[in-house]
Amino acid sequence: MGDLDETQAIDQVIDRLAQRFPSLEREHIAAVVEDEHGKLDEGRVRDFVPVLVEKAAKRRLKKEAKESLAPVGQPEALAPLPDGDLDPMEVEQARREGQGSHLFSGLLGSSGENER
């Protein structure tokens, strides 16, 4: 992968993550992506760098969004997440609606908020 191709791919990663995390500032997302990209500067094989950067940045941004209880957008309605994680939007929606289904009960804690 050439430098120009990698730069374009990293820009596309920023675009995708900005759509997925609309409540976070684009500049913050770009900073996280650049930080993760910088961690891979020493690698010789560059073909998978954008994929690795996107996965690491998404993990960090999900954690930040979860900690701040900021809504996380799903780019495609009802599309499963590729990494097999629960969709944070579903968890947040269940918490807000007070639907303490068995699927989410472990994630929401035992505050009694969702118990009937």
Are 43 and 17 contained in the same domain?
yes
Residue the block writes with tokens 């500067």:
41
Angle formed at CA 74 by CA 93 and CA 18, multiple of 5 degrees: 120
pLDDT, tens digit (0-9, with 9 covering 90-100), for 25-74: 999 999 999 999 999 888 888 888 999 999 999 999 998 888 776 555 55
Q: Range of 47's domain?
A: 1-68
The pLDDT of 96-107, averaged and rounded, is 52
Report how far apart the first and last C-alpha atoms of the chain are (Å, whole number): 56
Are 87 and 45 contained in the same domain?
no
Question: How many folded domains does the chain comprise?
Answer: 2
58 burial level (CB within 10 Å; 0-12, 13-18, 19+):
buried
- Per DSSP, the three-state class of 22 is coil
Q: Is the pLDDT of residue 14 over 90?
A: yes
Please indicate, yes or no, if residue 76 is contained in any of the structural domains: no
This prediction's pTM: 0.52
Are 20 and 46 contained in the same domain?
yes
Q: What is the rounded CA–CA span in Å between residue 37 and residue 84?
A: 23
